[in-house]
Chains A and B, each alone.
Chain A
């Protein structure tokens, strides 16, 4: 099974960039994508990924992972993505206690693919790296660098 054969929506990469820009300054990454993953260093700040998604300017598929999925390939916009976002902890049905142990499980993601492709990839928030970067920044401030 791939995203294209499952309930999904179609969205422009520009709209995904717009959604990302509304999310704050977390770092994001992609998993197993040959197009984005071979062009820019990731994980990276939201702006880097958003800029590249605007450069791509093409449609992409997003899996409808909701309990009662309705996606049949309809075109959606950036305002619709909040409803489709998933959490790693939900995917693995982890307890609240387990989620506290790992920032990874608290990360948001979308399962995606490109039109006419059966290769799926994942757009994922990288809270582990975000935390590492923030800790580095705090350390720099404390040391007056």
Chain B
């Protein structure tokens, strides 16, 4: 029986009442990342393990559905890394926003039509970062360079180096991230279909021909390898961004020593990043979980 339009509308509206509080680990960007990444992997093992253990399941049907699950999890894993960049950028802005009078935040633009959405935002960083996408390594690099530059300077910080003289491991990570963002694009915009234009981009990225049109069918190991790469990337990014933020706060403190107490700031930065960081000679104390 067909539902009335009103009934369907009410049901769709009701989705927004089916919510849960954020987990406590969402207090830090990296903690939020770790928890989501582990949960996704555990969920995959749980469902896959159960399905493989059920007798009399037709293997081809089971494997088809598992492939769909892997594709969904691949996307979710990539989105989790994107969220990490967004959240950690917001954290950086919240730490330095009150001490900055140059134009570094001009790179983040809030459209007039979306002002209303930001009135309830609890921090300046979130208001500035939430509406941007963080799905391009060059853009991610340029935003963090701007946020973490010394006052009235262009900045030299490069989160993911890709220059000819940079270490091969860094260049490889940059290339890998570019592939990851393109995989996301294929999954989000074409539900996993590698279109001709996708194939051309992939071809240039991996320097091998990529067939099209083809459906992306990631394996369980693909998801595992992707998770390993992204875990390493999040860990490296967290250490680099935290260290650079601590350096910047040290520079700000040197120019105006009464702005903040170094020990208090070092403790706050350390606990926001989950790694021991030093500000103006004071070493942060990482609180036990």
Contact = CB atoms under 8 A, between A and B. Distances in A.
Interface string B26-44: 0010011011011101100
Contacts of A35: 289
Contact of B42 (A31, A97, A132): A31
Contact of A34 (B35, B48, B54, B235): B35
A37 B53 CA distance: 27
Contact of B55 (A31, A88, A95, A105): A95
B49 A37 contact: no
Contacts of B39: 32, 37
Interface stretch (A4-12, A40-48, A64-72): A40-48
Contacts of A37: 25, 34-35, 38-39
Given A38-B23, A104-B48, A105-B49, 4 more contacts: A38-B28, A41-B37, A105-B53, A128-B224
Counting chain B CB atoms within 10 Å of each CB, the highest count among A31, A41, A132 belongs to A41
A114 B282 CA distance: 33
11 contacts: A29-B38, A37-B39, A38-B34, A94-B53, A98-B53, A102-B48, A102-B52, A128-B220, A129-B41, A132-B224, A135-B221
A126 interface: yes
Nearest to A122: B42
B35 A40 contact: no
B45 interface: yes
B52 A39 contact: no
Nearest to B234: A41
A101 to B, nearest CB: 4
B224 A129 contact: yes
B274 interface: yes
Nearest to B49: A104
A41 B34 contact: yes
Contacts of A94: 53
B34 A39 contact: yes
Interface residues of A, number: 32
A105 B48 CA distance: 10
B231 interface: yes
A56 B286 CA distance: 12
A92 interface: yes
Contact of B32 (A31, A38, A89): A38
Given A39-B274, A56-B289, A128-B220, A102 B53 contact: yes
Interface in A82-134: 88-89, 92, 94-95, 97-99, 101-102, 104-105, 126, 128-129, 132
Contact of A29 (B23, B28, B41, B288): B41
A16 B6 CA distance: 56
Contacts of B24: 34, 38
A62 interface: no
Contacts of A98: 52-55
Given A31-B42, A35-B289, A41-B231, A102 B35 contact: no
B195 to A, nearest CB: 30
Nearest to A44: B231
Contact of A39 (B42, B54, B289): B289
A50 interface: no
A17 interface: no
Given A37-B35, A40-B34, A101 B53 contact: yes
Nearest to B224: A132
Counting chain A CB atoms within 10 Å of each CB, the highest count among B37, B48, B53, B234 belongs to B53
B58 interface: no
Contacts of A41: 34, 37-38, 231-232, 234-235
Nearest to A55: B288
B50 interface: yes
